[in-house]
Amino acid sequence: MVGLVLLLAATAAVAAASMAFGARDIPLPEVARALPEVWAAVTGAAADPADPTVRVLAGLRFPRTLVGLVVGSCLGVAGGLIQGHTRNPLADPGIIGISAGAALAVVVGFAFFGVVAPMTTAVSAFAGAIAATALVFGLTSVGAGRSNPLMLIIAGAALTAVLTACTTALVLTSEANLDRMRFWTVGSLTGRDLSVFFAALPFALVGIAAAFATAPTLNALNLGDDVAGALGIDVARARAIGMGLIAILAGAATAAAGPIGFVGLVVPHLVRPVTGPDHRWLLPYAALAGATLTLGADVVGRLVLPSGELQVGIVLALVGAPFFLYLLQRDKVVRL
């Protein structure tokens, strides 16, 4: 419990930094002073503010911060779920193709059906994530809802490459697609407004709450499928529910910010030394740690260049890719 409180404080600190830092830095006392006016502006309780600080916070940084918190929480919990269900420490929605499937579905909606509304974008991403999840687990299934851990990574990498190539081809088909999608396809919180946050929020809340509810079942599954079956758990059904929740969470995150990788890979490894293998604790820790890591990477991306900024997906890739190679070097492919 103490760890959760400390992690919540870290999340709040990173959220404050997200409000304060950017092209124009705003002192934290000024941010605190402006928050009531910011809230009034974003809820429509007040007219457009004349104060430039309030305009920056309400129009750009407050929505961006909320989207970052939702995206990071979804990816952190999805990573905890997928590593638990597959018993594979290298599993991650971005690595095994789920995020790429969501991204392709969104780009198809943009390119062929003119889908630009946040809610329909979220639904498209969810459908693409479900399809990619079914495909990768269908290709690697060895029966009773189980997947070969090594084949999951290989098939997921191949699927990610194919889906990413298709996405890139569609983005390059027209200048309009390229202009709309150039930041989204690398994973970005730039320019996200409250409509994006409210579109992703229902999927995030349902997915995270359901994931927490399935934690005892996931603990039983990690004792082995035979033991879980002896305890009265329908293993195949539990796996299917778990994969569905992973698709919901990855789809919501991808719809809001594009395909951001490595959060789901790194976060469970960061929190597992504190929580142990008990998913009743691991998943809440992963939600907060994912939000902190994602938003922290976004802040770093704003500060690392003297002009302009690095997208959050690029910053996380610079951190996550070496971590992935480290896990490979440690030969932790088969089991947690």
Count H helices and E strands in the chain, helices first: 15, 2
Would you state the torsion angle of the CA atoms of residues 242, 247, 249, 254, taken in this order, to the nearest 10 degrees? 160
Give, in degrees to the nearest 5, the angle at Cα 274 between 223 and 312. Answer: 105
For domain 2-12+69-329, the question of CATH label 1.10.3470.10 is answered with: yes
The predicted structure's pLDDT at residue 180: 65
With 0-12 CB in 10 A as exposed, 13-18 as middle and 19+ as buried, what is 209?
Answer: exposed
For the chain (length 336 residues), average pLDDT per consecutive 10? 89 94 89 88 73 87 94 95 85 84 86 79 84 82 59 83 88 70 75 87 94 94 84 86 89 86 89 91 95 94 83 86 72 48
The helix/strand/coil state of 232 is coil
Residue pair 323/265 in contact (Cβ under 8 Å)? The answer is yes
Can you give the pLDDT at residue 176? 66
pLDDT of residue 289: 95
Encoded tokens for 123: 């639904």
Domain boundaries along the sequence of the chain: 2-12+69-329
The pLDDT, as a whole number, for residue 333 is 45
Which residues fall within 8 angstroms of residue 321, CB to CB, at 6 or more apart? 262
What pLDDT, on the 0 to 100 scale, is given for residue 193? 84
Q: What is the pLDDT of residue 335?
A: 46
Amino acid 282: pLDDT:
95
